[in-house]
Amino acid sequence: MSIEIKEIRYASSEYQLEVNLRYEILRKPLGLKFTQEELKAEKDDIHLGAFRGKLLFGCLLLRKHDNTTVKMRQVAVQAHTQGTGIGRLLVEASETKAKELGYSVIELNARETAVPFYQKVGYETIGDTVGVAGLPHKIMRKKI
């Protein structure tokens, strides 16, 4: 069964899988949890998941910044399937979705360890290093 990228409805059972995956990959290693406020703020975001059947292997979300720019956030791929092309599929699908919605730019804060991945999928570093959740991040951008 191949990987399929699907939109995830906020507060659905798939959304719970998404939050669990993001917790395992992005927060737990830093000793951090999601707050109710953070999760509530995701209500109007676009959530994409990489599924094989009912199993979730990766996810990301898009949040409106302004009329031209959308922010890509919370990109996470299940540890044992990293490096197999799922991140690229998710990013490509999110660009298609963002274009459909009329956006022309995607921006993100990349952990320094993930910068080479975003460069591979066409993002450029803009500006200085910023600290997010105690980790150095680069602001990156792509015109879509």
Binding interface with ligand COA (CB under 6 A): 25-26, 75-77, 82-88, 110-111, 113-114, 116-117, 120
| Residue number closest to ligand COA, CB atom | 87
Q: What is the nearest approach in angstroms of ligand COA to the Cβ of residue 25?
A: 5
Q: Are 53 and 83 in contact (CB under 8 A)?
A: no
Q: Are 92 and 86 in contact (CB under 8 A)?
A: no
SS3 assignment, position 81 = helix
**Tokens 């956006």, residue?**
103
Q: What is the nearest approach in angstroms of ligand COA to the Cβ of residue 7?
A: 18
Q: What is the nearest approach in angstroms of ligand COA to the Cβ of residue 3?
A: 10
Which amino acid, 93?
Answer: A
Task: Give the residue with the Cβ less far from ligand COA, 41 or 132.
Answer: 132
Task: Give the residue with the Cβ less far from ligand COA, 98 or 140.
Answer: 140
DSSP 11: T
Task: Give the residue with the Cβ less far from ligand COA, 64 or 73.
Answer: 73
Task: Give the residue with the Cβ less far from ligand COA, 99 or 120.
Answer: 120
Q: What is the nearest approach in angstroms of ligand COA to the Cβ of residue 35?
A: 19
Q: Which pair of structure tokens corresponds to residue 24?
A: 């395992």
CA distance 127 to 138: 7
SS3 assignment, position 103 = coil
